[in-house]
Every structure is written in structure tokens, then in C-alpha cells.
Amino acid sequence: MDQIAPARTLETWIGAQVRDMRTALGMTMSDLARAASISVGMLSKIENGQTSPSLQTLQNLAGALNIPLASFFAKYDEKREASYVRSGTGLTIERRGSKSGHIYQLLGASLRNKVRMEPYLITLTEDSDAYPIFQHPGVEFIFMLEGEVVYRHGDKDYALLPGDALFFDSEAPHGPLEIVARPCRYLSIIASAE
């Protein structure tokens, strides 16, 4: 069973912010406690997330650190999401190459990002045809896992074997020109600006 880390409490978040800002300024706990008119013991409890400081105490700390009060809360609620796909459970989707027998398994998706990323596990079987005319915005990275394929990009051909990688501008025509050894599997990651 997967372990999920407990969410960080607001108290531990604020404590870490206070400690990080204090040490960045080269202040000792005594220096900051004196400047904020609180005891060293209280500052220690705040920095270790053992107490919930009052707004007045936070305002005193912000003044002593010469930062806006809101700095203690910045990025606390900001979500950092992840897309997790277990082995063999990627979503099989239809793309232009699907009609040529190319099987696309989506392995993740950009959730909230300025860059669109699409990671695919692509499988070429006995039913797959060559299809060297894909074109789309952005860049693409291919990493060969199994089989052998001659991959065309623009006017150049690349013989790709397991372990080989190819990174290219995906606005040029590209795709498998010849499927030499089947089954053929490769990881394809497409990136473009949103």
C-alpha cells in the first residue's frame, strides 16, 4: 500500500518560514526574539510548529524580519499536483496514428502548468503501419524500449534500437518510416506551450 505523507500544518509551515527568513538574515533566535518582543522559548515553539502564534506576534515577527505579514502565508495553499499511473493502466487514447495501428497509452497529464506535456507509451504491433507524417506544435522526445524502427524526422532517418533516444522539433513531419523488429515500444513525450 502506498504511504501518503501527512499534510503540513499551518503552524509548521509558518514556523519553517520564520526559521528560514531568520537564518537567511543571519539572525540568532535571541536577536529575533528581542526584536519581536517575544521570549526565545516562544520563538522556539513557533519555529518548531508547536504553537499557533497570534496575529500580533506574527506582525511583530514580520516587522523584526522587515517583511510583509503575508510572507508567512505565501505558497501555503499552493497546490503541487502529480499524475500517477500504475504499470499497465495508462489510458489508451485515439490519435492520428491509431488508424495505422499505433497504440497510444497516456502515462500522465499536465495538471496546472504553462507547458503542456503528454507522455505516451507507443506500441507498434504486426497490425501497425509506417506513418512518417505526424506534425504538431512543440518538441518531442522518444526513448526506445523494445524492437527496432527507422524513424524519420524532416529529411533525415534514424535507426532506433532499445536505449536510443531522439529529441526533435515536432513541427517537422516525423514518424516511423519502417518498422524493422516488432513488437516495437517506445516512450514519447510531447511538450508545447499552453
Asked whether the whole model's pTM tops 0.85, one would answer no
| Residue 194 clears pLDDT 80, i.e. is over it | no
Q: Give residue 2's pLDDT.
A: 45
**pLDDT, tens digit, 9 for 90 and up, residues 14-64:** 999 999 989 888 999 999 999 999 999 999 999 999 999 999 999 999 999
**pLDDT, tens digit, 9 for 90 and up, residues 74-133:** 777 766 667 677 887 777 877 777 778 888 888 877 666 677 888 999 999 999 999 889
Q: Give residue 132's pLDDT.
A: 87
Q: Give residue 170's pLDDT.
A: 93
Task: Give residue 159's Cα distance to chain centre.
Answer: 30
Q: Give residue 111's pLDDT.
A: 60
Q: Give residue 85's pLDDT.
A: 79
In the chain, what are the domains? 10-72 (1.10.260.40), 91-193 (2.60.120.10)
**pLDDT, tens digit, 9 for 90 and up, residues 128-150:** 999 889 999 999 999 999 999 99
Counting other chains too, the contacts that 105-108 makes at CB distance below 8 Å and 24 or more residues apart are: 107/187, 108/83, 108/84
Q: Give residue 107's pLDDT.
A: 82
pLDDT mean over 166-192: 93
3-state secondary structure the chain: CCCCCCCCCHHHHHHHHHHHHHHHCCCCHHHHHHHHCCCHHHHHHHHCCCCCCCHHHHHHHHHHHCCCHHHHCCCCCCCCCCCCCCCCCCEEECCHHHHHCEEEEECCCCCCCCEEEEEEEEEECCCCCCCCCECCCCEEEEEEEEEEEEEEECCEEEEECCCCEEEEECCCCEEEEEEEEEEEEEEEEEEEEC
Q: Give the CA diameter of the chain.
A: 76
Q: Give residue 3's pLDDT.
A: 47
